[in-house]
Amino acid sequence: MKIGRQIIRPTLVLTAITVASVFLLSHVERLAGPIIIKRARQKQEAALSLVLPGYIVLSSRTIAVDGVEFTYWEAEKKVENRTVRAYAFLTKGTGYGGDMVMMAGVDEKGEVLGLSIISQSETPGLGDRCLEVADRETLWDHLKGGIPERDFSDATRIPWFQNQFKGLDANEKIQIVKRGDWEPGMRDGLLEINAISAITGATITSAGVVRGLESGLDRLRRAREAAAAEQTGGIR
């Protein structure tokens, strides 16, 4: 009797509850799982089309560089009867709040085509402004309903900080200007000295992104060398 009450019954109750939980969760998972996978793929495709604008992605490769997995994509587009190649890759930079994962694209000459920060956990209001998009309306505009027709599509709402990387020369060192500010008029001046304007006066997040980009470029070079060596070795 005692065994029944102290061991068997609690075991049965606990088992029943666990089974019921698993049953519920498996159904929710069946509903949500495919959507989650689809979203992750869409996000990656959106990032790829942002960092490789106008290019057609041909292939992706994941190889180990320095014992770290490195994923890069090869793409090309036709410009006046000539095929131009470009590469995109995933890389990590260390910010104030841990690792920031980003994707960047460069063409064969080493011009940065774009950079997209995929995940970050920087300080709200400071480092996380690396994802800030210029405001187009205030609350009063919104309440009045008097918002003029504007373009709200994601394609045009690229965070200003990320957008500065477009057009930089990846073969040269990327400088950081401590202004904590950016406006469209600064663009040409910054490109001339191969620089970006930092998010704030303190440059931990900005430097983290730049360093992540540089280490990614370095890994891309070595990964391509390794891939090329493999290919010629295969032919012989």
The interface region with other proteins, picked from 83-91, 135-143, 174-182, 219-227 by CB under 8 A, is: 135-143
Q: How far is the CB of 105 from other proteins (least distance, A)?
A: 23
What does the angle CA 207 – CA 211 – CA 217 come to, to the nearest 5 degrees?
150
Is the Cβ of residue 87 or residue 161 nearer to other proteins in the bound state?
161
Closest CA to 47 of 132, 99, 116: 116
Residue with tokens 């997040």: 205
Q: Rounded to an integer, what distance in angstroms lies between the CA atom of residue 101 and that of residue 81?
A: 36
Please list the residues that pair with 64 across neighbouring strands: 69
Q: What value does the CA radius of gyration of the chain take, rounded to a whole number of Å? A: 24
Question: Quick check: 208 and 92 in contact, CB under 8 A?
Answer: no
Is the Cβ of residue 139 or residue 235 nearer to other proteins in the bound state?
139
- 125 is a contact residue toward other proteins (CB under 8 A): yes
- 171 is a contact residue toward other proteins (CB under 8 A): no
Of 41, 142, 144, 157, the residue at the interface with other proteins (CB under 8 A) is: 142
- 1 is a contact residue toward other proteins (CB under 8 A): no
Residues of this chain that interact with other proteins (CB under 8 A) are 9-10, 13-14, 17-18, 20-21, 24-25, 28-29, 31-33, 35-36, 39, 119, 121, 123-126, 135, 137-142
